[in-house]
Each structure stands twice: as structure tokens, then as C-alpha cells.
Amino acid sequence: MVGIGFDKRRKRWTAPARKESLEYLRAAFGPDCLIWSGGGAADAKEQGRPHPPARQQPAARGPKRSFPPKVLPVHWQNALHRTEEQLKVRRYSWRTVKSYLSHLRRFLADHSKLTLEQVTSEVIRTYIVKRTEAGSYSEATQNQLLNAIKFWLEQVEGREKAFIQLRPKEPKKLPGVLSMEEVSRLFQATDNLKHRCILKTIYSGGLRLGELCNLRIQDIHSDRKQIFVSSGKGKKDRYTTLSDSLLVELREYFKEYRPSYWLFEGQSGGQYSRRSVQAILRKAVDKSKINAHATVHTLRHSYATHLLESGTSLRHIQDLLGHASSKTTEIYTHLSNEERQRIISPLDRLNRDHKK
């Protein structure tokens, strides 16, 4: 977001006092990330910060929403704290820590009167069923909710491993893929040199969004035509491809922008934000008039599919993408258009043989 930066004199992050700042912070850190103190709007205005929006009156009709108590009992606070320590000791990513603790906090708040011994499999089953029925939960969110509770009970409280039969059947959806012509149009629609280099780097190496933002200058190995991905998904290092044409543009970008440490840095220094990369992609998609559902990850899927169509083996693609299982990579065999075009329909063979 434009305007967010680090105030070196005051040693703190600052943001413009606008409604957009509040929306950005809530989207990034959750609806309860802001804590207001003082006398409300008057104090907020006096202190030079946006005041919290007025609380809306509940609707006259419809079910009344119930929120869990904000303060947990002491025994549940301790359980939450021990879980957070264990997650950090095991070096889970901060996103996983944040998600697990959020799910667990809500579960504990909903069962504030229970003790650890009273948290049975049936209690968990009832809670998950209630949550999935109350909200539009995706299969992945339901799985994450169950994983958070299981981690707490098994890894923190020492319970025996028990598989709770509440894992949803995840749909077998094929990822979206752009044609090479669409990828070309996407790049042509990106006039800004820095923005174009960001998108081309993702496609050149089949990078995930976080991997792109974590790239350092030293990760570009121009002599070997490789990009080094440090601690990708699953904390695995790997090397992936660096195209000659991208290298030429990266050198132009470096001369113009002079990044100091990260390959792509924000206006005030520091890592380029994920949301900014997503905004760049969205703007390019709208301007190029390609598949409106394309995301940053679509470039990664397109990279793998185009490699397969050019004759690269699945084993090499697996290494380049950093997949732990070959089954994950095999999905691209379902996406290859050239592979499909080589398949002759039995109806065509029937007609051809009949003519003979």
C-alpha cells in the first residue's frame, strides 16, 4: 500500500490516516488487529490517527451473532501460550502460527468452562460440525482448523494420535494455466520496468509468491543462469531456471533502481510486499484482457505446463518447482495442450479406417 513506511526517527511503522489504511491492516492481520484506547473519535483526531468506525446497530431481523469471550480463562491462556512456544520451537512459518493460534483461541473461548480432561473427540467433532455449518468454510480451512486442534492436543498436551473422521473430501480441481501467447500479452501490458521484471521472474523460475518476495540480490546466479530459492515451501532450498532475456532486463532494472539487499524492494526499502505483487498482476491482467481469473500462482502453473510441453521430464520439473511428491507434479500432464493434441480420438480412427 502506498504511504506505509518506517519512521527511522521514531523507530516505528506509520500509515496514512485514511480509511484505506484501516481496510489494508484488517485484511492483512485480521479484523481484531487494531486496539483503540482513549475517548474514541475525539482522542483519535487529537492524536492524528483515524478514529475507529462507528459500531453499527444489529439488524432488526435475522439470527443474532454470538462472539466468544475476549478473555480466556487462565488455564486456557497457558495452553495457548505453550502451543505458541511449541510452534515457534518447531520453526513453523509465522503464517501457520498465526492461523493455528487463531483457530485454537476461538475453540478454547467456545469451551471456556471445560478443562483439558473434558475436551474429548466428541467435543471436537461437535465444534467442527457447528463451525462448518455456521460459515462458508472451504475444505482447506476446515482441515487447518482440525490440524490446529490436533497439534495442541498431540504435540503440546501429549495426547495419543487420533484421527478424527472430519476431514473433508477436497475437490480435485485443475489449476488455471495461461497459453504462451497470453503470457506474452501479460508482459507487454506491463510498462513499468520493475513490475515487468517481477512478473517475468515468477514465470522464469516458476516461483511462489513468497519465494519471489524473499529473493535477495545474491540469489541471482547470472553465471550459471539459475535462481537460488532459499527456504521455499517446506523449508527446502532449490535452484530453478533464469532466462537470458530476463537477465538482460534485471541488469537494466538494477541500474535504475539500485536495490540494496532484496532483489525487489519497496519505495521505502525493505521487502516488496505480497499484496503489491498481486496488485501488479491484477493490473496487468485487466490491461491485457487475458483470463480474468489468473493469479500470481497461475504464472507458476503456466511455467510448469510449458516446460512439459517443450519436452522437459516430470522429474526435472518436480525439482525445479520444489515438489515433495511426484504426484503433485503429475497434475501438469492433465494441463498440457500439446499432449492432448497428439491424442487421436477413437472416432477419428474409426472414420479413417472405414474410408480405407
Residue pLDDT, tens place only, 245-303: 999 999 999 999 999 999 999 988 889 999 999 999 999 999 999 988 899 999 999 99
Catalytic position from the list 106, 150, 185, 297: 297
Q: Write down which residue in 121, 141, 156 finishes a domain.
A: 156
Q: Does residue 166 lie within any of the structural domains?
A: no
Indicate if 225 belongs to the active site.
Answer: no
187 & 318 share domain: yes
Q: Does residue 58 lie within any of the structural domains?
A: no
CA 204 to centroid of chain Cα atoms: 20
Indicate if 203 belongs to the active site.
Answer: no
Catalytic position from the list 125, 233, 282, 287: 233
> Which CATH number fits the domain that encloses residue 336?
1.10.443.10
187 & 150 share domain: no
Would the pTM count as exceeding 0.85? no
Q: Which domain does 195 fall in, by range?
A: 180-341
The whole-number pLDDT of residue 232 equals 77
The whole-number pLDDT of residue 43 equals 40
Indicate if 95 belongs to the active site.
Answer: no
190 & 284 share domain: yes
268 & 329 share domain: yes
Confidence check: pLDDT of 18 > 70: yes
The whole-number pLDDT of residue 34 equals 61
Confidence check: pLDDT of 162 > 50: yes
The whole-number pLDDT of residue 60 equals 42
DSSP states along 70-103: SSPPHHHHHHHHHHHHHHHHTT--HHHHHHHHHH
118 & 19 share domain: no
CA 8 – CA 231 distance, rounded (Å):
29
Indicate if 61 belongs to the active site.
Answer: no
Indicate if 332 belongs to the active site.
Answer: yes
194 & 260 share domain: yes
User: Where does the pLDDT of residue 62 fall: very low under 50, low under 70, confident under 90, or very high at 90 and above?
Assistant: very low
Nearest to 188 by CA among 200, 205, 204: 200
197 & 299 share domain: yes
Of 261 and 132, the structure prediction assigns the larger pLDDT to 261
Catalytic position from the list 105, 200, 208, 306: 208
138 & 184 share domain: no
Please compute the mean of the pLDDT values over residues 116-140 and round it to a whole number: 83
> Which CATH number fits the domain that encloses residue 118?
1.10.150.130
What percent of the chain is predicted at pLDDT more than 70?
Answer: 73
Domain count, the chain: 3
Of 194 and 95, the structure prediction assigns the larger pLDDT to 194
User: Where does the pLDDT of residue 310 fall: very low under 50, low under 70, confident under 90, or very high at 90 and above?
Assistant: confident
Specify the range with the lowest mean pLDDT, choosing from 59-63, 266-270, 330-334.
59-63
Of 39 and 145, the structure prediction assigns the larger pLDDT to 145
Of 267 and 139, the structure prediction assigns the larger pLDDT to 267
Q: Write down which residue in 107, 122, 156 finishes a domain.
A: 156
Specify the range with the lowest mean pLDDT, choosing from 68-82, 144-158, 222-236, 335-349.
335-349
DSSP states along 194-255: HHHHHHHHHHHHT--HHHHHT-BGGGEETTTTEEEE-S-TTS--EEEE--HHHHHHHHHHHH
33 & 109 share domain: no
318 & 228 share domain: yes
110 & 242 share domain: no
Of 261 and 59, the structure prediction assigns the larger pLDDT to 261
Q: Does residue 189 lie within any of the structural domains?
A: yes
Q: Does residue 264 lie within any of the structural domains?
A: yes
Confidence check: pLDDT of 350 > 70: no
Indicate if 90 belongs to the active site.
Answer: no
Q: Does residue 164 lie within any of the structural domains?
A: no
- String of b and e for 153-183 (b: at least 16 CB within 10 Å)? beebeeeeeeeeebeeeeeeeebebbeeebb
Q: Does residue 130 lie within any of the structural domains?
A: yes
125 & 209 share domain: no
Q: Does residue 175 lie within any of the structural domains?
A: no
User: Where does the pLDDT of residue 216 fall: very low under 50, low under 70, confident under 90, or very high at 90 and above?
Assistant: very high
The whole-number pLDDT of residue 32 equals 59
Q: Does residue 168 lie within any of the structural domains?
A: no
Catalytic position from the list 300, 301, 303, 306: 300
Q: Write down which residue in 156, 190, 206 finishes a domain.
A: 156
Catalytic position from the list 103, 196, 238, 323: 323
